[in-house]
Each structure stands twice: as structure tokens, then as C-alpha cells.
Amino acid sequence: MQLPPTPVAAIIGAGPAGLMAAEVLVQAGIRVELFDAMPSVGRKFLMAGKGGMNITHAEALETFLDRYGARRAELEPLLRAFGPAQLRAWMQWLGIDSFVGSSGRVFPTAMKAAPLLRAWLHRLRGSGVKIHVRHRWLGWDPQGALRFATPEGERSLQADGVVLALGGGSWPQLGSTGDWVSLLAERGIPVAPLQPANCGFDAAWSEHFRAHRAGEAVKPVRAKVTDPAGKVHEALGEFNITATGVEGGLVYALSTPLRESLATGGEAMLYLDLAPGRELSAMLATLEQPRGKRSLSEWLRRRLHLSGVKIALLRECLDAGDLADPARLAHGIKALPLRIVAPRPIAEAISSAGGVPFEALDEGLMLRALPGVFCAGEMLDWEAPTGGYLLSACLATGRAAGLAAARWLAPVKRSEPD
């Protein structure tokens, strides 16, 4: 009895989501062809681990799931199936130990992405996954075959199933160009516009402030922003002054409501508590005391322990009347209004929002309008803060898409003769 041919799964995009889909499919006995436009795979993954590979977070699962905001409901079943605990066990299976840092963030013991990626690729190649680099996806030909631009010219592949894991629009120099948006639009697939997430923002600095304070860190600070629905978002941490505005962990944590406020009203107001450990009443009592011959800056440094950059921010954002009035100055220190005018370009962002909406997919992440085509990773319409949440969801969606693709291909898999 002649056996039917082994089904072929094409995975386009060799970041963490695509690699995880490849792992699941090859384990299911599917022939896997993995394509990436770049000269090597996992470039953004390696960049994410350059300063310390924060791969997931060890906080309580309910808190962890809440980090995914508006898309928690769609991502929850995927993250419950492959969440932080399962991710760490998978790393151990690859021979990579991990540890939980003081902040709850999880890191490989070596703190780098390269050893993990090497071990992963060794396992995938040993399992039979064929990796094709410098293959830029061009869409489908009239017969439904996948088209690729390669150094040797255009080539095509007729696949039985496809997993798209092409990333979002951030760090395009590492491969996430967002070029796939037009290719899906040609097939009638809705795509929410790609937008910067975990990004910096522009502020209307004066030339004097920009020239003297760009590059300085502001810490500790508590920041608040109210989104268009009236919900107040708050975070404690630090940020950096840039030549154009602000960036850093505290700003990234509030990037979603800031971006939404800008989209709705044209500008956003970020309120900064420059002295989060001090009560307003105690601060006011200090400011009302006579300061003698001391300058305001010296008084603020000595009595309130404000740094030079915080004092410069007060002078930048408050007028002379506010600085001269103790009550208004105290309120300014506890809720300094910083006007935000625009997000930085998506190419500078750590991640992106927007992409293929979950409403266009079934529960297995297959496109309803294109049976046999699955989507995973950052090309889906979700976002999350930094801290291991981005990689966790990329891996979880890659695994889910791979499992669903394996089930889809099961009817055409070869079977043993009777």
C-alpha cells in the first residue's frame, strides 16, 4: 500500500513565534520549511537579550494575565497552556537554566539570548526543520503557492499549511518591517494599523532644557495619565530625558494610554510626582519656611532633596508665578504637568500595537478567510509592557498556532498500512 506524501507546513518568520510553531509541527511529524527574509534567524530575539534576556515574569498568574489589557481574554487560554512555568520548563528541556530576579523577572542563568537560540536551533535542525534565510515573502501566486524573493531569484512553494509569524513594525532593520500588511490586505484580511508600543514620546522642550538635560535620568518618579475613557493609569519608576522628549521604563509602562490620548485629543498630559516618598502637607510646610539668601534651586536641593534635573523640569513646566508661590510649587512637585505631543516613530519602538485582529481568526489562530493559514506572534493585534510579557505571548501564540496547524494537517498525514 502506497503511503500519501507527508504534509508540508511553511512557516514564514523565524522569530520566537515562528520557531516555536516549527518545533510543535515537526514534533507532530509534519515536514517543516521555515523561511526568513534576513541573513540569519532570531535577530530581534538576540537584540532583546543584549542587555539581559528577560524572557518571562514570575508574578502571580492572574496579575501576569492582566498585563495584556484589552486582549487578556483572547490570550489567556494560550498563556495558561504555555505560561511562565511551562516556558521555564521548556528552557530547561533545552538545557538552559533560569532564575528569578529581585523584580520577579525571569532570566536565563547566562543572561544572554544567544545560548538559548543556539540550543533551540540545534534541536530544530536535528528534528528535521529546514531553515531558509534571505527568503522574503511576496504573497501567493494565482495557483496558491507561496512566492519568495531570494538571492537566486524568485522561487515558490506549494504548502499544505502556513504559519505567518512576521512580527510587527518595530525595529525594521532586524526584520519586522510590516510589509506583510499589504499582502494580507490584498486577500481581504483586516489589519489594525501598526502603531508604536513601549515607546518614547516627544515633548515640547525649550532649547535651553534640551541642550542642558538631554540624556539625564529622572528617578524615582510616580507618573499618572488619564486615558480617553477616564481611567487613571499610574506607574512608579524612572525615565530618561531625550533631545525630543522622554523615554524609559516608566514611560513605556504608560505608552498605551498616552498613545490613545494623543489619538483622541491631539495631546496628552503626563503628571509627574517628583517626590513620591513625601506628603504634600509636609512639603508645603517646608516650602513656606523663609529661605533667607538661598536660591530656590539650592533650597529645593537641600531641604527637599530634589536632583538638578528635577529642578530643571520644574522650571521647564511651571511659570514664574508657580515657582514663587509655595502652595502652587508644592502641587507642581507632586503633580507636574508634562505635555506630551507625539509618540516616537514605530521604527524606534520596542514593540508595536495593531495587526491581525483576533476577530479575523478562529480559536486556533487560523484566518477565517484563508483556511490553512495561521498567524502568531507580534503580527497579531495585542500589546503588553516590557518585563518578559512580550516574549511570553509570542512563544505562547506560536505554540498555539503550531498545534492548530498540526491538527489541520492531520487528515493528510501519512498513516501506517493496515
- pLDDT tens string 2-41: 556 789 999 999 999 999 999 999 999 999 999 999 999 9
Which residues is 373 bridged to in the sheet?
162
**What number is the average pLDDT over the span 290-314?**
91
Q: Which three cell numbers stand for residue 140?
A: 501567493
- pLDDT tens string 167-182: 999 999 999 999 999 9
- pLDDT tens string 70-92: 999 999 999 999 999 999 999 99
* Residue 209, SS3 per DSSP: helix
**What number is the average pLDDT over the span 157-165?**
97
Taking each helix axis from N to C end, the angle separating 326-334 and 308-317, rounded to the nearest 10 degrees, works out to 110
Task: Render 339-361 in DSSP notation, one character per residue.
Answer: EEEEEPPGGGSSEEEEEB-GGGB
Q: What is the pLDDT of residue 1?
A: 46
Q: Is the pLDDT of residue 418 over 90?
A: no
* Residue 219, SS3 per DSSP: strand
Q: Model confidence at 166, in pLDDT bands (50, 70, 90)?
A: very high
Q: What is the pLDDT of residue 266?
A: 81
Q: Are strands 161-164 and 8-12 parallel, antiparallel or unpaired?
A: parallel
Q: What is the pLDDT of residue 416?
A: 42
Q: What is the pLDDT of residue 410?
A: 87
Q: What is the pLDDT of residue 148?
A: 98
Helices (H), 177-307: 180-185, 207-213, 249-253, 255-265, 280-287, 296-304
- pLDDT tens string 54-72: 999 999 999 999 999 999 9
Measured over the CA atoms of residue 384, residue 386, residue 387 and residue 390, the dihedral's sign is positive
Q: Are the C-beta atoms of residues 201 and 368 closer than 8 Å to each other?
A: no
Report the chain's terminal Cα–Cα distance, integer Å.
9
Residue 377 DSSP code: G
Q: What is the pLDDT of residue 404?
A: 98
Q: What is the pLDDT of residue 50?
A: 74
For 144, list phi and psi in degrees, rounded to 5.
Answer: 90, 5
Q: What residues does each domain of the chain span?
A: 8-195+352-412, 201-343
Q: Which three cell numbers stand for residue 255?
A: 505608552
Question: Rounded CA gap, 391 and 402, in Å?
Answer: 16
Q: Which of 346, 407, 361, 370 is nearest to 139 (CA)?
A: 370
* Residue 47, SS3 per DSSP: helix
Question: Rounded CA gap, 344 and 288, in Å?
Answer: 40
Q: What is the pLDDT of residue 412?
A: 56
Q: Is the pLDDT of residue 244 over 60?
A: yes
How does the average pLDDT of the chain come out, rounded?
94
Q: What is the pLDDT of residue 403?
A: 98
Question: Rounded CA gap, 249 and 373, in Å?
Answer: 36
Looking at the chain, the whole-number percentage of residues with pLDDT higher than 90 is 87
For 373, list phi and psi in degrees, rounded to 5.
Answer: -115, 120
Q: Which of 272, 257, 271 is nearest to 221 (CA)?
A: 272
Q: Is the pLDDT of residue 204 over 60?
A: yes
The answer, yes or no, to whether the previous bond of 220 is cis (omega within 30 of 0) is: yes
- Residue 63: partners with Cβ closer than 8 Å, 6 or more residues away: none
Q: What is the pLDDT of residue 292?
A: 82
What kind and span of H or E run contains 27? Answer: helix 16-27
The CATH fold assigned to 8-195+352-412 is FAD/NAD(P)-binding domain (3.50.50)
Q: What is the pLDDT of residue 113?
A: 92
Q: What is the pLDDT of residue 4?
A: 63
Q: What is the pLDDT of residue 413?
A: 52
Neighbours of 418 (CB within 10 A): 4
